[in-house]
């Protein structure tokens, strides 16, 4: 068994690198998209709010695999090409952005409305108020659930293997198909996911505990 672990670990680590790169890119994309959707959701423009509501409800009500399949195969259907990595980033960003939008929306709405009024009295524009007053106050509110959503995103990268990307889960499946031993191989895969996710999970718990005590 030790020989199997030693021979499989470099391949799995190669897949882990792809998983981490995919996760980082999707975290950036989903955060920006989620923040944009949250701003639209809390705006005073009815059309903007409806667009944001449609986006969040659509992707929160469908499986992530459907989103990935639609992007990867749908783009090809319309005569365009998209590589696996780009499809994975786009799919995860769009899907997780819908959940992150709700996290940001809750944080924005938790800031007292009086903060807006005071800022306008001081002569700040809506943009300045949001960026300089409202958004900094939401950071402490949204950070724990936001990191929790990032953990979910990292684990969702395993689903990208369904469209053929050679990330961690796909590499594990390839090893199992070639030499068997699914318990050992998938155990290693799970361990590598745990090594990545556990520190973030502990950080969230630590931050929540400090918030409750303060």
Structure-token pair, residue 77? 């259907």
Q: Are 186 and 172 in contact (CB under 8 A)?
A: yes
How far apart (Å, rounded) are the C-alpha atoms in residues 93 and 30? 4
Residue 28 CB neighbour total at 10 angstroms:
12
Show the CA angle centred on residue 210, arms to residues 207 and 214, nearest 5°: 140
**Could you say which DSSP state residue 43 is in?**
S
Q: What is the largest CA-CA distance in the chain?
A: 70
Q: Are 149 and 100 in contact (CB under 8 A)?
A: yes
Q: What's the pLDDT tens digit per position in 158-205?
A: 888 887 777 888 888 888 888 888 888 888 889 998 988 888 888 777
DSSP labels, 67-109: HHHHHHHHHHHTT----HHHHHHHHHHHHHHHHHHHHHHHHHH
Q: What is the residue extent of each domain of the chain?
A: 2-213
The pTM of the full predicted model, rounded to 2 decimals, is 0.83
Better-scored residue on pLDDT, 25 or 143? 25
How far apart (Å, rounded) are the C-alpha atoms in residues 187 and 95? 27
* pLDDT on residue 90: 92
Q: What's the pLDDT tens digit per position in 48-91?
A: 889 999 999 999 998 988 888 888 888 877 777 888 888 899 99
Closest listed residue to residue 23, CA positions, set 117, 160, 139: 160
Options 3.40.1280.10, 1.20.120.1630, 3.30.420.60, 1.10.3720.10; CATH for 2-213 is 1.10.3720.10
């Amino acid at each position: 068994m030790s020989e199997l672990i030693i021979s499989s670990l470099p391949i799995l680590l190669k897949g882990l690198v792809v998983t981490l790169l995919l996760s980082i890119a999707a975290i950036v994309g989903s955060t920006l998209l989620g923040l944009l959707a949250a701003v639209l959701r809390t705006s005073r423009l009815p059309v903007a709010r409806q667009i944001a509501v449609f986006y969040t409800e659509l992707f929160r009500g469908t499986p992530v695999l459907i989103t990935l399949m639609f992007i990867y195969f749908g783009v090809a259907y319309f005569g365009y090409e998209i590589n696996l990595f780009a499809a994975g980033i786009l799919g995860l960003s769009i899907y997780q952005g819908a959940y992150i939008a709700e996290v940001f929306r809750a944080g924005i709405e938790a800031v007292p409305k009086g903060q807006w009024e005071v800022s306008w009295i001081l002569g700040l524009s809506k943009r300045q108020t949001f960026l300089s007053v409202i958004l900094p106050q939401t950071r402490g509110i949204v950070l724990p659930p936001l990191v929790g959503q990032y953990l979910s995103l990292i684990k969702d990268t395993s689903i990208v293997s369904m469209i053929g990307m050679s990330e961690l889960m796909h590499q594990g499946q390839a090893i199992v198909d070639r030499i068997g031993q699914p318990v050992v191989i998938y155990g290693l895969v799970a361990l590598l996911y745990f090594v990545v996710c556990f520190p973030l999970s502990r950080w969230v718990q630590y931050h929540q505990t400090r918030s409750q005590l303060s």
